[in-house]
Structure 1
Amino acid sequence: MPDPARAVRRSSRSAKDSSALQALARAGYVASGVLHLLLGWLAVRLAVGASAGSADQQGALRELAHAPGGALLLWLTATGFAGLALWQLIEAVAGVPGTDTARQVGARVKAGGKAVLYGVLAGTAVRVATGTSGAGSEEGLTADLMRVPAGRWLVAAVGAVIVGAGVFHVVKGWRRSFRDDLRGTGGGAAGQTVVRLGQVGYVAKGVALGVLGGLFVAAAVTADPDRAGGLDDALRTIREQPFGVALLVATGLGIAAYGVYSFARARYASL
Protein backbone atom coordinates (compact mmCIF):
# COMPACT_ATOMS: atom_id res chain seq x y z
CA MET A 1 0.00 0.00 0.00
CA PRO A 2 1.47 3.39 -0.96
CA ASP A 3 2.73 5.55 1.89
CA PRO A 4 1.11 9.03 1.56
CA ALA A 5 3.76 10.68 3.75
CA ARG A 6 6.56 9.21 1.65
CA ALA A 7 4.83 10.35 -1.53
CA VAL A 8 4.56 13.90 -0.15
CA ARG A 9 8.26 13.93 0.76
CA ARG A 10 9.17 12.62 -2.70
CA SER A 11 7.09 15.33 -4.38
CA SER A 12 8.65 17.95 -2.12
CA ARG A 13 12.16 16.86 -3.04
CA SER A 14 11.23 17.06 -6.73
CA ALA A 15 9.90 20.58 -6.21
CA LYS A 16 13.21 21.61 -4.60
CA ASP A 17 15.00 20.65 -7.81
CA SER A 18 12.93 23.20 -9.73
CA SER A 19 15.13 26.02 -11.03
CA ALA A 20 12.14 28.38 -10.81
CA LEU A 21 11.65 27.68 -7.10
CA GLN A 22 15.37 28.05 -6.43
CA ALA A 23 15.29 31.41 -8.21
CA LEU A 24 12.36 32.49 -6.02
CA ALA A 25 14.23 31.42 -2.88
CA ARG A 26 17.26 33.45 -3.92
CA ALA A 27 14.95 36.39 -4.62
CA GLY A 28 13.77 35.99 -1.03
CA TYR A 29 17.30 36.56 0.23
CA VAL A 30 17.44 39.71 -1.91
CA ALA A 31 14.17 40.84 -0.31
CA SER A 32 15.67 40.14 3.11
CA GLY A 33 18.68 42.23 2.15
CA VAL A 34 16.51 45.18 1.16
CA LEU A 35 14.49 44.90 4.37
CA HIS A 36 17.55 44.81 6.62
CA LEU A 37 19.19 47.72 4.83
CA LEU A 38 16.08 49.78 5.45
CA LEU A 39 15.89 48.61 9.07
CA GLY A 40 19.51 49.63 9.56
CA TRP A 41 18.79 53.04 8.06
CA LEU A 42 15.75 53.52 10.31
CA ALA A 43 17.77 52.49 13.38
CA VAL A 44 20.46 55.05 12.61
CA ARG A 45 17.81 57.74 12.04
CA LEU A 46 16.22 56.80 15.35
CA ALA A 47 19.59 57.10 17.07
CA VAL A 48 20.12 60.65 15.85
CA GLY A 49 16.51 61.68 16.52
CA ALA A 50 15.52 61.99 12.86
CA SER A 51 13.03 59.11 12.72
CA ALA A 52 9.44 59.98 11.82
CA GLY A 53 8.12 56.41 11.66
CA SER A 54 8.52 53.07 13.38
CA ALA A 55 11.88 51.33 13.10
CA ASP A 56 10.48 47.88 12.44
CA GLN A 57 9.64 45.62 9.49
CA GLN A 58 6.41 47.41 8.68
CA GLY A 59 8.10 50.80 8.93
CA ALA A 60 10.87 49.61 6.60
CA LEU A 61 8.33 48.37 4.04
CA ARG A 62 6.52 51.70 4.21
CA GLU A 63 9.82 53.42 3.46
CA LEU A 64 10.13 51.14 0.43
CA ALA A 65 6.62 52.10 -0.64
CA HIS A 66 7.68 55.76 -0.82
CA ALA A 67 10.61 55.00 -3.12
CA PRO A 68 10.27 55.46 -6.90
CA GLY A 69 8.40 52.43 -8.18
CA GLY A 70 7.60 51.55 -4.58
CA ALA A 71 4.44 49.58 -5.35
CA LEU A 72 6.28 47.32 -7.78
CA LEU A 73 9.18 46.90 -5.36
CA LEU A 74 6.78 45.89 -2.60
CA TRP A 75 5.14 43.23 -4.79
CA LEU A 76 8.55 41.91 -5.80
CA THR A 77 9.57 41.83 -2.14
CA ALA A 78 6.39 39.96 -1.22
CA THR A 79 7.01 37.47 -4.02
CA GLY A 80 10.58 36.88 -2.84
CA PHE A 81 9.51 36.31 0.76
CA ALA A 82 6.71 33.99 -0.39
CA GLY A 83 9.21 31.98 -2.44
CA LEU A 84 11.57 31.68 0.51
CA ALA A 85 8.67 30.68 2.76
CA LEU A 86 7.71 27.94 0.31
CA TRP A 87 11.31 26.73 0.14
CA GLN A 88 11.54 26.50 3.93
CA LEU A 89 8.18 24.74 4.09
CA ILE A 90 9.40 22.12 1.64
CA GLU A 91 12.50 21.56 3.78
CA ALA A 92 10.27 21.16 6.83
CA VAL A 93 8.33 18.46 4.99
CA ALA A 94 11.04 16.72 2.96
CA GLY A 95 13.96 17.16 5.35
CA VAL A 96 17.02 19.40 5.43
CA PRO A 97 19.91 18.18 3.25
CA GLY A 98 23.29 17.76 4.94
CA THR A 99 21.74 17.23 8.36
CA ASP A 100 22.31 13.91 10.15
CA THR A 101 19.35 11.84 11.33
CA ALA A 102 19.77 12.77 15.00
CA ARG A 103 19.37 16.48 14.22
CA GLN A 104 16.82 16.19 11.45
CA VAL A 105 13.77 16.82 13.65
CA GLY A 106 15.23 20.03 15.03
CA ALA A 107 16.26 21.16 11.55
CA ARG A 108 12.74 20.57 10.25
CA VAL A 109 11.18 22.51 13.13
CA LYS A 110 13.60 25.37 12.45
CA ALA A 111 12.70 25.32 8.75
CA GLY A 112 9.01 25.37 9.65
CA GLY A 113 9.55 28.38 11.89
CA LYS A 114 11.36 30.20 9.12
CA ALA A 115 8.54 29.37 6.72
CA VAL A 116 6.09 31.06 9.09
CA LEU A 117 8.38 34.09 9.52
CA TYR A 118 8.89 34.62 5.79
CA GLY A 119 5.19 34.03 5.18
CA VAL A 120 4.33 36.77 7.68
CA LEU A 121 6.81 39.13 6.00
CA ALA A 122 5.26 38.36 2.60
CA GLY A 123 1.81 39.11 4.02
CA THR A 124 3.03 42.34 5.59
CA ALA A 125 4.51 43.47 2.26
CA VAL A 126 1.20 42.73 0.52
CA ARG A 127 -0.77 44.68 3.13
CA VAL A 128 1.56 47.67 2.81
CA ALA A 129 1.34 47.47 -1.00
CA THR A 130 -2.46 47.43 -0.88
CA GLY A 131 -2.70 50.07 1.85
CA THR A 132 -4.43 47.73 4.29
CA SER A 133 -1.70 47.52 6.95
CA GLY A 134 -2.69 48.73 10.38
CA ALA A 135 -0.51 50.25 13.03
CA GLY A 136 -0.48 47.03 15.05
CA SER A 137 0.13 46.80 18.77
CA GLU A 138 2.41 44.25 20.36
CA GLU A 139 1.25 45.56 23.74
CA GLY A 140 -2.37 44.80 22.83
CA LEU A 141 -1.52 41.31 21.64
CA THR A 142 0.49 40.68 24.79
CA ALA A 143 -2.40 41.89 26.94
CA ASP A 144 -4.76 39.50 25.15
CA LEU A 145 -2.33 36.65 25.68
CA MET A 146 -2.01 37.46 29.38
CA ARG A 147 -5.75 37.06 29.83
CA VAL A 148 -5.74 33.38 28.88
CA PRO A 149 -4.92 30.69 31.47
CA ALA A 150 -1.17 30.68 32.21
CA GLY A 151 -0.92 33.74 29.94
CA ARG A 152 2.03 35.26 31.78
CA TRP A 153 3.94 32.01 31.36
CA LEU A 154 3.13 32.01 27.65
CA VAL A 155 4.39 35.59 27.26
CA ALA A 156 7.54 34.67 29.18
CA ALA A 157 7.99 31.62 26.94
CA VAL A 158 7.67 33.79 23.82
CA GLY A 159 10.26 36.15 25.24
CA ALA A 160 12.60 33.29 26.10
CA VAL A 161 12.32 31.90 22.57
CA ILE A 162 13.14 35.31 21.08
CA VAL A 163 16.09 35.72 23.48
CA GLY A 164 17.24 32.24 22.46
CA ALA A 165 17.05 33.25 18.81
CA GLY A 166 19.12 36.32 19.62
CA VAL A 167 21.78 34.25 21.37
CA PHE A 168 21.77 31.83 18.44
CA HIS A 169 22.41 34.70 16.01
CA VAL A 170 25.24 36.11 18.13
CA VAL A 171 26.93 32.70 18.47
CA LYS A 172 26.42 31.96 14.77
CA GLY A 173 28.07 35.26 13.88
CA TRP A 174 30.89 34.93 16.41
CA ARG A 175 31.75 31.39 15.31
CA ARG A 176 31.15 32.18 11.64
CA SER A 177 29.09 29.00 11.36
CA PHE A 178 26.82 30.78 8.88
CA ARG A 179 29.42 29.77 6.30
CA ASP A 180 27.73 26.35 6.34
CA ASP A 181 24.74 28.03 4.65
CA LEU A 182 26.90 29.01 1.69
CA ARG A 183 28.34 26.88 -1.06
CA GLY A 184 31.25 29.32 -1.29
CA THR A 185 32.01 33.04 -1.17
CA GLY A 186 34.10 33.50 -4.26
CA GLY A 187 37.39 33.43 -2.34
CA GLY A 188 39.92 36.24 -1.98
CA ALA A 189 39.04 39.69 -0.67
CA ALA A 190 35.43 39.37 -1.82
CA GLY A 191 34.99 36.17 0.18
CA GLN A 192 36.56 37.70 3.30
CA THR A 193 34.24 40.69 2.98
CA VAL A 194 31.17 38.46 2.82
CA VAL A 195 32.27 36.58 5.95
CA ARG A 196 32.98 39.81 7.83
CA LEU A 197 29.60 41.24 6.87
CA GLY A 198 27.95 38.05 8.05
CA GLN A 199 29.77 38.19 11.37
CA VAL A 200 28.83 41.78 12.10
CA GLY A 201 25.30 41.34 10.80
CA TYR A 202 24.46 38.22 12.77
CA VAL A 203 25.81 39.68 16.02
CA ALA A 204 23.92 42.98 15.59
CA LYS A 205 20.69 41.22 14.70
CA GLY A 206 21.14 38.92 17.69
CA VAL A 207 21.55 41.87 20.05
CA ALA A 208 18.33 43.45 18.76
CA LEU A 209 16.44 40.17 19.13
CA GLY A 210 17.83 39.68 22.62
CA VAL A 211 16.53 43.08 23.73
CA LEU A 212 13.17 42.39 22.06
CA GLY A 213 12.81 39.08 23.89
CA GLY A 214 13.81 40.77 27.13
CA LEU A 215 10.88 43.17 26.76
CA PHE A 216 8.45 40.24 26.59
CA VAL A 217 10.02 38.61 29.65
CA ALA A 218 9.83 41.90 31.56
CA ALA A 219 6.15 42.23 30.60
CA ALA A 220 5.47 38.73 31.96
CA VAL A 221 7.39 39.27 35.20
CA THR A 222 5.70 42.60 35.97
CA ALA A 223 2.31 41.60 34.50
CA ASP A 224 2.51 44.85 32.53
CA PRO A 225 1.75 44.38 28.79
CA ASP A 226 2.97 47.93 28.12
CA ARG A 227 6.50 46.72 28.76
CA ALA A 228 6.30 44.41 25.75
CA GLY A 229 6.83 45.76 22.27
CA GLY A 230 8.22 45.21 18.83
CA LEU A 231 11.55 45.83 17.18
CA ASP A 232 11.00 49.60 17.33
CA ASP A 233 10.65 49.41 21.13
CA ALA A 234 13.74 47.21 21.36
CA LEU A 235 15.81 49.73 19.41
CA ARG A 236 14.48 52.59 21.54
CA THR A 237 15.49 50.61 24.64
CA ILE A 238 19.03 50.36 23.28
CA ARG A 239 19.06 54.14 22.73
CA GLU A 240 18.06 54.72 26.37
CA GLN A 241 21.13 52.89 27.71
CA PRO A 242 24.43 54.58 28.65
CA PHE A 243 26.16 55.52 25.38
CA GLY A 244 22.87 54.46 23.80
CA VAL A 245 23.14 56.65 20.71
CA ALA A 246 26.51 55.14 19.78
CA LEU A 247 25.21 51.63 20.57
CA LEU A 248 22.13 52.14 18.40
CA VAL A 249 24.15 53.55 15.52
CA ALA A 250 26.45 50.51 15.73
CA THR A 251 23.42 48.20 15.86
CA GLY A 252 21.86 49.91 12.86
CA LEU A 253 25.06 49.63 10.85
CA GLY A 254 25.31 45.98 11.88
CA ILE A 255 21.76 45.29 10.72
CA ALA A 256 22.58 46.99 7.43
CA ALA A 257 25.69 44.78 7.17
CA TYR A 258 23.39 41.77 7.53
CA GLY A 259 21.39 43.19 4.63
CA VAL A 260 24.47 43.35 2.40
CA TYR A 261 25.39 39.83 3.51
CA SER A 262 21.90 38.69 2.47
CA PHE A 263 22.61 39.92 -1.07
CA ALA A 264 25.73 37.76 -1.08
CA ARG A 265 23.73 34.86 0.31
CA ALA A 266 21.27 35.22 -2.57
CA ARG A 267 24.17 34.32 -4.84
CA TYR A 268 26.10 31.82 -2.73
CA ALA A 269 23.39 30.12 -0.65
CA SER A 270 23.34 26.33 -0.66
CA LEU A 271 19.92 25.39 -2.01
Structure 2
Amino acid sequence: MPDKAPAWVVPVMRAGYAARGAVYIIVGGLSLSAAIYGGQAQGTTDALSTLRDEPWGIALLWAIAIGMMAYMVWRLIDAAMDLECEGSDAKGLAARAGQAITGLIHGAIGASLAATAMGAGSQGGGAQTATQKLMAMPWGPYLVMVVGIVTIGAGFYYGYKGIAETYKADIRVTDLTQKLNPAMKAGFIAEGVVVAIIGGLIFFAGLNHNPGDAGGVGEALSTLRAAPYGAILMGVIAAGLVGFGIENLVEARYRIVPRHSGEDVMTFARRAKLKAEGKLREATA
Protein backbone atom coordinates (compact mmCIF):
# COMPACT_ATOMS: atom_id res chain seq x y z
CA MET A 1 0.00 0.00 0.00
CA PRO A 2 1.56 3.35 -1.00
CA ASP A 3 2.20 6.04 1.61
CA LYS A 4 0.67 8.73 -0.60
CA ALA A 5 -2.51 8.63 -2.62
CA PRO A 6 -2.30 9.49 -6.34
CA ALA A 7 -3.22 13.12 -7.07
CA TRP A 8 -6.03 12.15 -9.47
CA VAL A 9 -8.02 10.69 -6.57
CA VAL A 10 -8.77 14.17 -5.21
CA PRO A 11 -10.75 15.59 -8.19
CA VAL A 12 -12.59 12.27 -8.55
CA MET A 13 -13.57 12.49 -4.88
CA ARG A 14 -14.71 16.10 -5.25
CA ALA A 15 -16.84 15.30 -8.30
CA GLY A 16 -18.44 12.43 -6.42
CA TYR A 17 -19.36 14.45 -3.36
CA ALA A 18 -20.66 17.31 -5.51
CA ALA A 19 -22.99 14.93 -7.37
CA ARG A 20 -24.09 13.32 -4.12
CA GLY A 21 -24.81 16.74 -2.67
CA ALA A 22 -26.93 17.68 -5.69
CA VAL A 23 -28.91 14.43 -5.37
CA TYR A 24 -29.81 14.97 -1.72
CA ILE A 25 -30.67 18.63 -2.19
CA ILE A 26 -33.07 17.75 -5.03
CA VAL A 27 -34.62 14.76 -3.24
CA GLY A 28 -34.85 16.62 0.07
CA GLY A 29 -36.22 19.77 -1.57
CA LEU A 30 -38.95 17.91 -3.46
CA SER A 31 -39.85 15.93 -0.35
CA LEU A 32 -40.03 19.11 1.71
CA SER A 33 -42.35 20.61 -0.90
CA ALA A 34 -44.52 17.47 -0.75
CA ALA A 35 -44.70 17.72 3.04
CA ILE A 36 -45.74 21.39 2.92
CA TYR A 37 -48.04 21.46 -0.11
CA GLY A 38 -49.11 17.83 -0.32
CA GLY A 39 -48.08 15.18 -2.78
CA GLN A 40 -46.22 11.89 -2.83
CA ALA A 41 -42.66 11.59 -1.56
CA GLN A 42 -40.37 10.40 -4.35
CA GLY A 43 -37.38 8.11 -4.30
CA THR A 44 -33.95 9.16 -5.52
CA THR A 45 -34.22 8.15 -9.18
CA ASP A 46 -37.86 9.18 -9.52
CA ALA A 47 -37.12 12.61 -8.08
CA LEU A 48 -34.15 13.16 -10.35
CA SER A 49 -36.05 11.94 -13.41
CA THR A 50 -38.15 15.12 -13.16
CA LEU A 51 -35.08 16.98 -14.43
CA ARG A 52 -35.53 15.53 -17.92
CA ASP A 53 -38.23 18.06 -18.77
CA GLU A 54 -36.29 21.06 -17.48
CA PRO A 55 -33.96 23.27 -19.56
CA TRP A 56 -30.51 21.67 -19.50
CA GLY A 57 -32.13 18.83 -17.55
CA ILE A 58 -30.61 16.00 -19.57
CA ALA A 59 -27.16 17.57 -19.35
CA LEU A 60 -27.59 17.92 -15.59
CA LEU A 61 -28.72 14.29 -15.33
CA TRP A 62 -25.58 13.20 -17.19
CA ALA A 63 -23.40 15.37 -14.94
CA ILE A 64 -24.94 13.85 -11.79
CA ALA A 65 -24.73 10.33 -13.23
CA ILE A 66 -21.04 10.76 -14.04
CA GLY A 67 -20.48 12.27 -10.61
CA MET A 68 -22.12 9.28 -8.93
CA MET A 69 -19.84 7.00 -10.93
CA ALA A 70 -16.92 9.12 -9.73
CA TYR A 71 -18.13 8.66 -6.16
CA MET A 72 -18.13 4.90 -6.74
CA VAL A 73 -14.56 5.00 -8.09
CA TRP A 74 -13.46 7.17 -5.16
CA ARG A 75 -14.96 4.83 -2.57
CA LEU A 76 -13.59 1.66 -4.19
CA ILE A 77 -10.09 3.17 -4.44
CA ASP A 78 -10.49 4.56 -0.93
CA ALA A 79 -11.29 1.11 0.43
CA ALA A 80 -8.62 -0.73 -1.57
CA MET A 81 -5.76 1.70 -0.78
CA ASP A 82 -7.01 2.66 2.70
CA LEU A 83 -6.78 6.34 1.83
CA GLU A 84 -8.46 7.32 5.10
CA CYS A 85 -6.11 5.25 7.26
CA GLU A 86 -8.80 2.96 8.66
CA GLY A 87 -6.31 0.14 9.17
CA SER A 88 -6.38 -3.61 8.59
CA ASP A 89 -7.81 -4.80 11.89
CA ALA A 90 -11.41 -6.02 12.14
CA LYS A 91 -12.80 -2.52 12.72
CA GLY A 92 -10.79 -1.05 9.86
CA LEU A 93 -11.72 -3.80 7.42
CA ALA A 94 -15.40 -3.38 8.32
CA ALA A 95 -15.16 0.36 7.67
CA ARG A 96 -13.44 -0.22 4.34
CA ALA A 97 -16.04 -2.81 3.33
CA GLY A 98 -18.71 -0.23 4.12
CA GLN A 99 -16.92 2.29 1.90
CA ALA A 100 -16.88 -0.17 -1.00
CA ILE A 101 -20.56 -1.10 -0.58
CA THR A 102 -21.55 2.57 -0.39
CA GLY A 103 -19.64 3.20 -3.60
CA LEU A 104 -21.35 0.34 -5.44
CA ILE A 105 -24.79 1.57 -4.35
CA HIS A 106 -24.09 5.06 -5.68
CA GLY A 107 -22.64 3.60 -8.87
CA ALA A 108 -25.93 1.75 -9.41
CA ILE A 109 -27.82 5.01 -8.92
CA GLY A 110 -25.50 6.66 -11.46
CA ALA A 111 -26.20 3.90 -14.00
CA SER A 112 -29.94 4.32 -13.44
CA LEU A 113 -29.68 8.08 -13.97
CA ALA A 114 -27.68 7.55 -17.16
CA ALA A 115 -30.45 5.26 -18.43
CA THR A 116 -33.01 7.94 -17.54
CA ALA A 117 -30.97 10.57 -19.40
CA MET A 118 -30.97 8.32 -22.47
CA GLY A 119 -34.76 8.12 -22.33
CA ALA A 120 -35.12 4.68 -20.76
CA GLY A 121 -37.54 6.05 -18.20
CA SER A 122 -37.41 6.10 -14.43
CA GLN A 123 -35.82 3.04 -12.88
CA GLY A 124 -37.84 3.09 -9.68
CA GLY A 125 -38.45 0.09 -7.41
CA GLY A 126 -34.75 -0.69 -7.10
CA ALA A 127 -34.95 -1.80 -3.46
CA GLN A 128 -37.90 -4.09 -4.18
CA THR A 129 -36.22 -5.58 -7.26
CA ALA A 130 -32.98 -6.25 -5.38
CA THR A 131 -34.91 -7.75 -2.47
CA GLN A 132 -36.87 -10.00 -4.84
CA LYS A 133 -33.65 -11.31 -6.42
CA LEU A 134 -32.07 -11.92 -3.02
CA MET A 135 -35.19 -13.66 -1.71
CA ALA A 136 -35.10 -16.10 -4.64
CA MET A 137 -31.72 -17.39 -3.44
CA PRO A 138 -31.31 -20.29 -0.98
CA TRP A 139 -32.13 -19.02 2.51
CA GLY A 140 -33.25 -15.87 0.73
CA PRO A 141 -35.66 -14.47 3.34
CA TYR A 142 -33.01 -14.84 6.04
CA LEU A 143 -30.44 -13.12 3.83
CA VAL A 144 -32.90 -10.26 3.30
CA MET A 145 -33.40 -9.93 7.06
CA VAL A 146 -29.63 -9.82 7.56
CA VAL A 147 -29.34 -7.08 4.94
CA GLY A 148 -32.12 -5.23 6.75
CA ILE A 149 -30.33 -5.49 10.08
CA VAL A 150 -27.05 -4.30 8.53
CA THR A 151 -28.87 -1.38 6.91
CA ILE A 152 -30.48 -0.45 10.23
CA GLY A 153 -26.99 -0.52 11.74
CA ALA A 154 -25.78 1.79 8.98
CA GLY A 155 -28.60 4.17 9.83
CA PHE A 156 -27.55 4.24 13.49
CA TYR A 157 -23.96 4.81 12.36
CA TYR A 158 -25.00 7.85 10.29
CA GLY A 159 -26.92 9.16 13.28
CA TYR A 160 -23.90 8.62 15.53
CA LYS A 161 -21.66 10.46 13.06
CA GLY A 162 -24.05 13.39 13.22
CA ILE A 163 -24.39 13.46 17.00
CA ALA A 164 -20.66 12.92 17.67
CA GLU A 165 -19.65 15.11 14.69
CA THR A 166 -17.04 12.56 13.58
CA TYR A 167 -17.75 13.59 9.97
CA LYS A 168 -15.64 16.70 10.58
CA ALA A 169 -12.39 14.76 11.00
CA ASP A 170 -11.14 15.27 7.42
CA ILE A 171 -12.79 18.63 6.66
CA ARG A 172 -10.74 21.82 6.61
CA VAL A 173 -11.52 24.43 9.24
CA THR A 174 -12.83 27.63 7.62
CA ASP A 175 -15.37 30.28 8.59
CA LEU A 176 -17.84 28.73 6.12
CA THR A 177 -17.49 25.15 7.34
CA GLN A 178 -17.96 26.28 10.92
CA LYS A 179 -21.09 28.27 10.03
CA LEU A 180 -22.57 25.36 8.06
CA ASN A 181 -21.88 22.82 10.78
CA PRO A 182 -25.46 22.85 12.22
CA ALA A 183 -26.87 21.95 8.78
CA MET A 184 -24.22 19.26 8.35
CA LYS A 185 -24.96 17.78 11.76
CA ALA A 186 -28.74 17.75 11.13
CA GLY A 187 -28.10 16.22 7.72
CA PHE A 188 -26.30 13.18 9.10
CA ILE A 189 -28.97 12.62 11.72
CA ALA A 190 -31.73 12.86 9.09
CA GLU A 191 -29.87 10.49 6.78
CA GLY A 192 -29.53 8.08 9.68
CA VAL A 193 -33.29 8.12 10.27
CA VAL A 194 -34.05 7.48 6.59
CA VAL A 195 -31.48 4.67 6.24
CA ALA A 196 -32.70 3.00 9.44
CA ILE A 197 -36.30 3.06 8.17
CA ILE A 198 -35.17 1.59 4.84
CA GLY A 199 -33.43 -1.16 6.81
CA GLY A 200 -36.61 -1.81 8.77
CA LEU A 201 -38.63 -2.09 5.56
CA ILE A 202 -36.11 -4.55 4.13
CA PHE A 203 -36.11 -6.60 7.34
CA PHE A 204 -39.89 -6.92 7.39
CA ALA A 205 -39.88 -7.80 3.68
CA GLY A 206 -37.73 -10.81 4.57
CA LEU A 207 -39.76 -11.60 7.68
CA ASN A 208 -43.01 -11.55 5.68
CA HIS A 209 -41.50 -13.21 2.56
CA ASN A 210 -42.83 -10.23 0.58
CA PRO A 211 -40.37 -8.16 -1.52
CA GLY A 212 -43.10 -5.56 -1.96
CA ASP A 213 -42.61 -4.51 1.66
CA ALA A 214 -39.09 -3.25 0.87
CA GLY A 215 -38.46 0.28 -0.26
CA GLY A 216 -36.01 3.11 -0.67
CA VAL A 217 -35.99 6.78 0.22
CA GLY A 218 -39.48 7.48 -1.13
CA GLU A 219 -41.04 4.64 0.86
CA ALA A 220 -39.11 5.65 3.99
CA LEU A 221 -40.45 9.20 3.78
CA SER A 222 -43.96 7.90 3.09
CA THR A 223 -43.67 5.75 6.23
CA LEU A 224 -42.85 8.86 8.23
CA ARG A 225 -45.79 10.68 6.70
CA ALA A 226 -48.18 7.91 7.79
CA ALA A 227 -47.14 8.35 11.43
CA PRO A 228 -48.87 10.76 13.86
CA TYR A 229 -47.86 14.32 12.94
CA GLY A 230 -46.43 12.67 9.84
CA ALA A 231 -46.35 15.76 7.62
CA ILE A 232 -44.26 17.57 10.25
CA LEU A 233 -41.94 14.58 10.69
CA MET A 234 -41.53 14.18 6.95
CA GLY A 235 -40.85 17.90 6.56
CA VAL A 236 -38.20 17.89 9.30
CA ILE A 237 -36.41 14.86 7.83
CA ALA A 238 -36.72 16.25 4.29
CA ALA A 239 -35.10 19.51 5.48
CA GLY A 240 -32.42 17.36 7.09
CA LEU A 241 -31.77 15.62 3.77
CA VAL A 242 -31.19 19.05 2.24
CA GLY A 243 -28.71 19.59 5.08
CA PHE A 244 -27.03 16.30 4.17
CA GLY A 245 -26.76 17.56 0.61
CA ILE A 246 -25.10 20.72 1.91
CA GLU A 247 -22.71 18.56 3.94
CA ASN A 248 -21.71 16.68 0.79
CA LEU A 249 -21.11 19.95 -1.07
CA VAL A 250 -18.90 21.07 1.82
CA GLU A 251 -16.97 17.80 1.50
CA ALA A 252 -16.68 18.37 -2.25
CA ARG A 253 -14.88 21.64 -1.56
CA TYR A 254 -13.13 21.24 1.78
CA ARG A 255 -12.58 17.53 2.35
CA ILE A 256 -9.04 16.20 2.35
CA VAL A 257 -7.63 12.74 1.55
CA PRO A 258 -5.39 11.97 4.54
CA ARG A 259 -2.88 9.95 2.51
CA HIS A 260 -2.61 12.77 -0.03
CA SER A 261 -2.68 15.90 2.11
CA GLY A 262 -0.48 14.74 4.97
CA GLU A 263 -0.87 15.71 8.62
CA ASP A 264 -0.26 19.46 8.47
CA VAL A 265 -3.63 20.56 7.04
CA MET A 266 -5.81 22.28 9.64
CA THR A 267 -8.84 19.99 9.79
CA PHE A 268 -11.42 19.99 12.57
CA ALA A 269 -9.78 16.86 14.00
CA ARG A 270 -6.29 18.38 14.03
CA ARG A 271 -7.62 21.61 15.51
CA ALA A 272 -9.32 19.68 18.33
CA LYS A 273 -6.14 17.72 19.00
CA LEU A 274 -3.97 20.83 19.11
CA LYS A 275 -6.48 22.57 21.37
CA ALA A 276 -6.43 19.62 23.76
CA GLU A 277 -2.63 19.72 23.80
CA GLY A 278 -2.56 23.49 24.33
CA LYS A 279 -0.77 24.05 21.02
CA LEU A 280 -3.59 25.66 19.05
CA ARG A 281 -2.41 29.27 19.38
CA GLU A 282 1.10 28.30 18.27
CA ALA A 283 -0.21 26.38 15.24
CA THR A 284 -2.50 29.18 14.10
CA ALA A 285 -0.10 32.06 14.77
Q: Could you state the TM-score of these two structures normalised by the residue count of structure 1?
A: 0.86
Per-residue CA distance 1:89-137 (angstroms, 9 max, x = gap): 1122222333344343223212211221221122122111111245443
Is contact 1:28–1:80 with CA below 8 Å preserved after alignment? yes
Residue of structure 2 in register with 1:158 after alignment: 147
Q: CA deviation at 1:179?
A: 0.5
1:86 positional shift: 1.3
Match of 2:190 in 1: 204
Residue in 2 aligned with 1:172?
161
Unpaired runs of 5+ residues, structure 2, are: 258-285
Correspondence 1:6-21 to 2 at 5 A:
9-10=1-2, 16-19=5-8, 21=9
Give 2:228's match in structure 1, choosing from 224, 231, 242.
242
Does the CA contact (< 8 Å) of 2:46 and 2:124 recur in 1? Answer: no
In structure 2, do the counterparts of structure 1 residues 86 and 147 end up closer, same or farther at CA, with 3 Å as the change threshold? Answer: closer
Report the alpha carbon displacement of residue 84 of structure 1 after superposing the two structures with TM. Answer: 2.0
Q: Say if 2:19 is the partner of 1:63.
A: no
CA 1:146–1:26: 2 relative to 1, 3 Å: same
Partner residue of 1:84?
71
Aligned-CA RMSD value? 2.1
Is the CA contact (8 Å cut-off) linking 1:96 and 1:108 kept in structure 2? no
Q: Secondary structure at the match of 1:181?
A: coil
Q: Does 1:132 align with 2:120?
A: yes
User: TM-score, length-normalised on structure 2?
Assistant: 0.82
Aligned runs of 1:86-125 on 2, under 5 Å? 86-102=73-89, 103-125=91-113
Unpaired segments ≥5 residues, structure 1 = 1-8
SS in 1 for 2:169: helix
Find the aligned partners of 2:150 and 2:83 in 1 and give their Cα distance: 22
Asked if the contact 1:40–1:252 (Cα under 8 Å) also holds between the matched residues in 2, the reply is yes
Contact 2:149 2:203 in 1 (8 A): yes
Alignment equivalent of 2:238, drawn from 229, 237, 252: 252
SS in 1 for 2:50: helix
- Per mean C-alpha deviation after superposition, the further-off stretch among 132-141 and 196-205 is 132-141
- Matching of residue 148 in structure 1 with residue 134 in structure 2: no
**Superposed structure 1 runs of 4+ greater than 6 Å apart:** none
Q: How many residues align?
A: 255
Q: Where does residue 28 of structure 1 map in the other structure?
A: 16
Paired residue type of 2:215 = G
Secondary structure in structure 1 of the residue aligned to 2:193: helix
1:185 aligns with 2:173: yes
Task: Determine the structure 2 residue equivalent to 1:3.
Answer: none
Distance 2:136 2:14 in 1: 41
